[in-house]
Amino acid sequence: MENLRLAQDGTLRLDNADVTDIISCLGYKLTFEQGVTLRSFFSLFSAHPDLLRLNPFLQGASTDAAACKNSGCTTEEFTHLELYRQLEMTGAPGTPEMNIHTLVRGINDTGRHELRFFRLQHLLDMPFLLGQMRHVIFGDRTSELYCNTTFSLFEVIEGIAWELSFQGGSLTCSLRR
């Protein structure tokens, strides 16, 4: 699998060269260099505007990010943001199902937290990391298994777009899986 590297400034490199054909790279494994933030992704979208067509929420989020100040967009609520996968086996008793979710959460000492009530002006400059696969069996969250995993460029973009689609949620509404 080809390996892309996202730099803090939003540049995307493949074998130490700038990426010119972004669409052909969507399935490549993505890694982050030191210092990547959510702002790094919006810089990536600026350099490769075709990526905004991958999800209807990206254009609006990109416009919102551009309206934020140039630095200092953080919150003390989290130490960092993390994109991770969650594999859930459900349906017992009955027919078991496997569902894989790609999620972005704010991380602090008490765990993972939804971002829906935090605006981009509080998230853009938070450190952003690629996490592991969290395996939950039949809803038993007391015995979880964490495994290393990889993410393609498309999976990272779609995971971010999915999470940003919930921006502006009501504090009285909290959907849980």
In the chain, the amino acid numbered 2 is E
Domain-embedded: residue 177: no
Domain-embedded: residue 122: yes
Mean pLDDT along residues 123-146: 83
Domain-embedded: residue 175: no
Triad 58, 134, 10: Cα angle to 5°? 35
Number of folded domains that form the chain = 1
| pLDDT in the model for residue 94 | 84
Spatial distance between the Cα atoms of 8 and 138, rounded to a whole number of angstroms = 38
Q: Which residues constitute the domain of residue 46?
A: 3-164
With cut-offs at 50, 70 and 90, classify the pLDDT of residue 172: very low
Q: Is pLDDT at 71 greater than 60 in this prediction?
A: yes
Domain-embedded: residue 119: yes
Q: Comparing 53-62, 69-78, 90-99, 152-161, which segment has the lowest mean pLDDT? A: 90-99
β-bridge mates for residue 100, sequence order:
87
Q: Is pLDDT at 167 greater than 90 in this prediction?
A: no
Domain-embedded: residue 70: yes
Residues 6 or more apart whose Cβ sits within 8 Å of residue 113: 77, 78, 105, 106, 107
Q: Which residue from 84, 88, 87, 77 is spatially nearest to 115, judged by alpha carbons?
A: 77
β-bridge mates for residue 3, sequence order:
29
* Tokens standing for residue 7: 């730099």
Domain-embedded: residue 170: no
| pLDDT in the model for residue 151 | 96
Residues 6 or more apart whose Cβ sits within 8 Å of residue 84: 102, 103, 105, 112, 130, 131, 132, 133, 134
Mean pLDDT along residues 131-143: 75
In the chain, the amino acid numbered 105 is R
Domain-embedded: residue 77: yes
Q: Is pLDDT at 143 greater than 60 in this prediction?
A: yes
| pLDDT in the model for residue 85 | 92
Residues of 22-42 as b/e, b for ≥16 C-beta within 10 angstroms? beebbebebebeeebbbbbbb
Q: What is the mean pLDDT of the chain?
A: 88
Domain-embedded: residue 149: yes
Spatial distance between the Cα atoms of 150 and 152, rounded to a whole number of angstroms = 7
